[in-house]
Amino acid sequence: MNDKTRFDSNEIDQWIERMSQDVREKLGPEYNSAKMLGIRTGGVLVAEQLHRKLALAHPAGELNISFYRDDFSRIGLHPQVGASDIPFPIDDEVIILVDDVLYSGRTIRAAMNEIFDFGRPTRILLVTLIERTGRELPISADVIGHCMELGPQQNVKLREDLSLEIEAR
C-alpha cells in the first residue's frame, strides 16, 4: 500500500494528461465524435479537466445517479435525487464515462443504468482517475489515472481544488 496520504493538483493534472492520451489511443478514429459524461460530483470535476485536454467538439454532460444507487442506506448517505444534464443524444454514440474513484463498481452500474434509460450507445469507454481495491461487481475501467491499494477502513476523496486525500473512515 502507498504510504502517501495526499496528492496535489499538479500530480492529478499529470494523471489526467496521461489519461487523455490513453483515451485518444483507445478510441482511435472514434475519438473525434465521442461524447463525454461525468458522474456527479467527483467525476464531473475530472471530466471537465479531461474534456479540456481532449478538446472534444461537444460539451460534456453530467449524470446524477442518485436515483439508481442501491447502497445509499448501507453506506449512510441520503441521496439528493436530481436531474442529469445530457446535452446530446445517446443512441449510436461513443460515450466516455468519467468518474473520480472506481471502488465497489456500484456507481458505474448505476451510471450505466441511467445512460441506457436515455438511449443505447454503441460503446462506453470507462475512465476513472483512481482505481482502488475492493470491487464488489465485475466492472473494470478502460483508462485509469492511478491505482491504489487501500484498506477497507480507508477512503479516497477528490477535492474541488483537484487535490486528493486518503482518509480513515
Domain count, the chain: 1
Over residues 104-133, the pLDDT tens digits come to 999 999 999 999 999 999 999 999 999 999
What percentage of the chain exceeds 90 in pLDDT? Answer: 81
Contact 131, 144 (CB under 8 A): yes
| Domain boundaries, position 41 | 6-70+81-168
Beta-carbon-side half-sphere exposure of residue 164 (alpha carbons within 13 Å): 23
Greatest mean pLDDT range, 1-10, 73-82, 151-160: 151-160
* CATH classification of the domain holding 129: 3.40.50.2020
Please say if the pLDDT value at position 27 is more than 90.
yes
The region that residue 92 occupies, defined by phi over 0 for left and psi between -120 and 50 for alpha, beta otherwise, is left
Question: Does 34 fall in a domain?
Answer: yes
